[in-house]
Every structure is written in structure tokens, then in C-alpha cells.
Amino acid sequence: MIIGLAKIPARAMRALVIAVLMTAIAVGSADRRAQAQTCGPFGDPPATFISSPKPYCWGGKRLGPWNDSDGNSRYACIYEPDSASATNQLPLLVFIHPSLVPAGSVRVTNLLHYLGSANLSDNPSKPGFILLAPQGRKTTHYYPFPDNRGYGWDNWYRQFNPSGDVSIGGVTYKENVDGATIDEFIAEAIATGKADPDRIYITGWSNGAAMAYLYALNRPKIAAIAVYSAANPFGMLADPCPQKPVTTKPTDNSQIRIFNSGLPVMHLYNNCDVAGLCRSAGQLASQLRPLGVEVQDTIINSFMTRTDSCLDSCGTDPNGDASVLSNPLGASLGLVNHARWPFGWTPEMLDFLRRHPLSARKPLKAEINKSQSAVHLSSAELADN
């Protein structure tokens, strides 16, 4: 199946991705019962590993293998315009793919259409950007069958401390290996000298958008994100260990510290989105804005035009509702909306990123100092992480 993905055109791949995502919700609904397990200071335990696939980077170049801390080979795809060079640095845009599909699914979007022409540098004489698409692993997920396992990103184990591994009470909590993998391939792109470190941006879709949120909220080097239809990475659907984001030491395991609260965010989602995601997205914004995170929510309807509010008929539970029985419109119309990239909004997403280089962020120095100080936290302090 994956070999075939490398050979089919973008239109056929788009149809395949939509079919897979539609099946993911139509076949099953979320088990809302909390699973029997112990929640820790970083939420859920690390996802159960299945395999580490090698992506086909049709039209681009494959990076890797790089071994993560579990010893698994990791890869990424990178796409560069001809104009990229050490003397003509371009912004770096990282695309985090949805669950159930590989890194090559970037071709289902129209991001590559703008690779050589979009003005992300805020300099018309330097058009274009470099696009990096890391490859997720196949693991278990807290999503409905068949999306309870497969390609994706572990946004349930929230150990993204900038210091790396953390020891609490004699127990070492390893850094989330997906976060470390994104770190590695961003570092490789920057090391070429072609990517502008002042303009490292993240975009993503669905589970990939959730990972984009969680990763960027903990990496002060990320200038801004613009994502589509993100599941709440701090708890949604069957997640037995939801956590509330904070910028100070957590009082208990119900809270998780973030390290990049100055992050500008554009979150685009549908007024009728899958699994009641619209209400969940609103809850996510309400959790982050008091912390200083600049969240710009943009809600669109089925015609991809801007609207003001969510449709109650597609779900009102801020924790989400993927049941075909209790939320039939969310499982049908919401799924159709969720499963197509918002092509007409890509220029606005890119323009949002253009307006937010890292150097323009007022609290930049404080955020970097906070990140660096995390490396020197004592064991007692880390116990409150």
C-alpha cells in the first residue's frame, strides 16, 4: 500500500486519504470509558510501539535514518525550492501529517504548490520556503477504531520538557520520542544553512495538528503555528489522563507545564467538525489564552467560508463526541469537512506565519531564558515539573 502511495498522483492520494479518514470514524465510535491505568506527571504512558515506517518522499528527499531513544529508525521528507541556499535562507515550514496516513500525505494539501512562490520571509525578493515533513510511527492511539492504532503522533504522553529526560522521585521520564524526532530533523534542516532560524513554523492536520500544538508550546525556537482541525492535545475523547496546561510548577498530575507561552497560533477548523471537535477547539483556546498564548481561532462552514460559531447539531461536548448514535451529523458531515484540506485558506495560513517571525515576539527573551533554565532545574523542582 505504501509503495503505491509513492506512485499515484496527488488527486488520487487525496481521495485515498479522505476514504481512510472517513472509514476511521464511520466504522467505530470512541470508547468514552476511562481505561484502567495510572496517570503520571506527563499524562498517559508512552504509546505502545508497533513499527517505524520509512516514507516515500515523492518529489522530495528522504532524511534519515536517525535512531530515537527507543532505538527505532526515524525519517522525514524534505522539499526545497531551487532558490534555497546558504546565501538565500528561506523560512522552514514543518508539516505534521494526520494519523492513519504517512508523511507523503502532504501532497493531499496544496502546500507544495506554494513552495517556490509564497512570501513567508516578508521579503518579496525572497519567495518560497523549505517544507519538512517528519514521519510518525505506527503506535496505539486514544481514538476510535480503526484509528486506535497506526500512523500518527503520541500527543498523550506529554513529556516535552526542553531539558530532555526528567527525573522525578527517582523515576526517569524519557522525552517524548516523537518530539525528539521533530527536534532532530529541524536541526538537520537548520544545519544546512538554507533554513532561516528566525522563521521556523509548524503546520499540521488533525492528530498532526494536535502534535504541532503540543510540540510548539514547548519549543521557544518555534516562531508560530497555523494548523487545521486539531484534536485537543491536553485531553479529548477516550484519553484517560487529560491535563490542564500551566506555565508554573504543576500542583499535581492534572496539570502540565508548557515552555513557549508566547506562541502565536492560527487554528482553522469547521463549525461542523468530526467528533464534536469545534467545541473542543474552543475549550483548547480558553485553556491557552489566559497563559498568554495568542490563539486566533478561525471557524469555517462546509463551503469553507468564515462563520462565527459552532453548530450545536454537530456536537456540544467540549470533550468531543465521536458516537454515530449520539452525534450523527458530526460523524457524517463533520467527517467530510474534516477530511478535506482547506485549500482556499492556505494563503491566509501562510500569511499568518509570515507576520510572526521569532524576532518580533516581545516576550522572546523571557521564553528562551525559561527554556534554558529548565535544563538546570533540581530534582525537587522537577518533581513539580
Task: Return d(Cα 123, Cα 129) in angstroms, integer.
Answer: 12
- The CATH class given to the 2-27+39-382 domain equals alpha beta
pLDDT > 50? residue 100: yes
Position with higher pLDDT, 32 vs 147:
147
- What are the boundaries of each domain within the chain? 2-27+39-382
pLDDT > 70? residue 278: yes
Q: Where are the alpha helices (DSSP H) in the chain?
A: 2-5, 10-26, 177-191, 207-216, 277-288, 333-338, 346-354, 364-374, 379-382
Q: What is the mean pLDDT of residues 85-102?
A: 97
Q: What pLDDT was estimated at residue 18?
A: 52
Asked whether the beta carbons of 25 and 277 are under 8 A apart, the reply is no
Confidence of residue 361 (pLDDT cuts 50, 70, 90): confident
116 contact partners, CB below 8 Å, separation of at least 6: 81, 82, 83, 127, 128
The DSSP H or E segment spanning 49 is strand 49-51
Confidence of residue 35 (pLDDT cuts 50, 70, 90): very low
pLDDT > 90? residue 34: no
Asked whether the beta carbons of 53 and 64 are under 8 A apart, the reply is no
Q: What pLDDT was estimated at residue 13?
A: 53
Task: Return d(Cα 377, Cα 278) in angstroms, integer.
Answer: 38
pTM (2 d.p.): 0.88
Mean pLDDT over the full length of the chain: 88
Q: What pLDDT was estimated at residue 193?
A: 98
260 contact partners, CB below 8 Å, separation of at least 6: 216, 217, 218, 219, 220, 222, 367, 371
Q: What pLDDT was estimated at residue 378?
A: 35
pLDDT > 90? residue 221: yes
Q: What is the mean pLDDT of residues 126-136?
A: 98
Each residue's pLDDT tens digit, 133-145? 999 999 999 988 8
CA-only gyration radius of the chain, Å: 19
Q: What pLDDT was estimated at residue 350?
A: 98
Q: What is the mean pLDDT of residues 344-373?
A: 78
Task: Return d(Cα 363, Cα 371) in angstroms, integer.
Answer: 12
Task: Return d(Cα 176, Cα 157) in angstroms, integer.
Answer: 7
Lowest mean pLDDT among 8-12, 137-141, 180-184: 8-12
Q: What pLDDT was estimated at residue 146?
A: 83
Percent of the chain at pLDDT exceeding 90: 81
pLDDT > 90? residue 27: no
Task: Return d(Cα 203, Cα 215) in angstroms, integer.
Answer: 11
Task: Return d(Cα 375, Cα 319) in angstroms, integer.
Answer: 34
